[in-house]
Amino acid sequence: MKIVFPDSVEKELAQQQEQSQKDSQKTTTAPGAHHGQQIQADGGQKIEELSEAQLKARNAAIQNTTSSLYQPESPLAPEYRSKSSEIEERLKRINQRFAALKMKEESRHAELQRQAWIKYSHLAKPTLSDFKRPITSFFLLASAVYMTAQYSWFALERENHVEQMEHTQSELVDNLNNALLRQQSVIQQYNDSLNSRKWWKFW
């Protein structure tokens, strides 16, 4: 997997390489030169004529940590750092950059969610048109229930009316039959009375 470094990290690494090249091209002592004779990066020579006593004094002053000529060399300088430390530093910077980008993306995502929630909350406010469909469905259901109940009531009432009419009819038939029987008995009695003779007529 190829790691793509950010531009800032690549620029900083390039600057470190240039600095290390400049440090390596600094003045070095020529192979056949005398004490105090130095060579510059452009190939020119800068001769410092110092006696042996002066050289010893300067070396002693340099070795003395209290001297102004003493410059301690840091083990963390670019020329003393290992490749692993450079890689760790790169990874650290990359992780920092990724963490910053992650925080930026999270804040952006949170802002988008907030805007979407605000928009949805405005759209979610109830209006009169939102109640048209449920109200219509309720009235249709209520009408269907009412019509079913009304039809059932009419059917039951018709059956009850038919039963009452049949009962009334049976009562009228019974009364009529009883009246006919009474009439027949009366007629029979009258006929019997007409046909009967008095007992003294036999004498």
Task: Parse the chain into domains and list their residue ranges.
Answer: 1-5+77-125, 130-188
pTM: 0.28
Considering 10-14, 175-179, 190-194, the range whose residues carry the highest mean pLDDT is: 175-179
pLDDT of residue 75: 55
Q: Which residue has the higher pLDDT, 126 or 112?
A: 112
pLDDT of residue 163: 87
Please compute, for residue 3, the number of CA atoms within 13 A of its CA located in the half-sphere on the CB side: 11
pLDDT score at 36 = 45
**SS3 of 196, please?**
coil
- CA distances for 195 relative to 27, 148, 159, 190, 203, angstroms: 181, 70, 53, 9, 18
Tens-place pLDDT, residues 164-186: 888 899 899 999 989 888 888 88
Position 28 scores a pLDDT of: 41
Closest CA to 58 of 48, 47, 69, 49: 69
pLDDT value, residue 38: 45
Amino acid at 200: W
Q: How many Å apart are CA 150 and CA 124, to the nearest integer?
A: 40
Average pLDDT, the chain: 74
- Print burial letters for 102-129: b (CB count within 10 Å at least 16), e (below 16): eeeeeeeeeeeeeeeeeeeeeeeeeeee
- Give the tens place of pLDDT for each residue, 120-174: 776 667 677 778 888 999 999 999 999 999 999 888 888 888 888 888 998 999 9
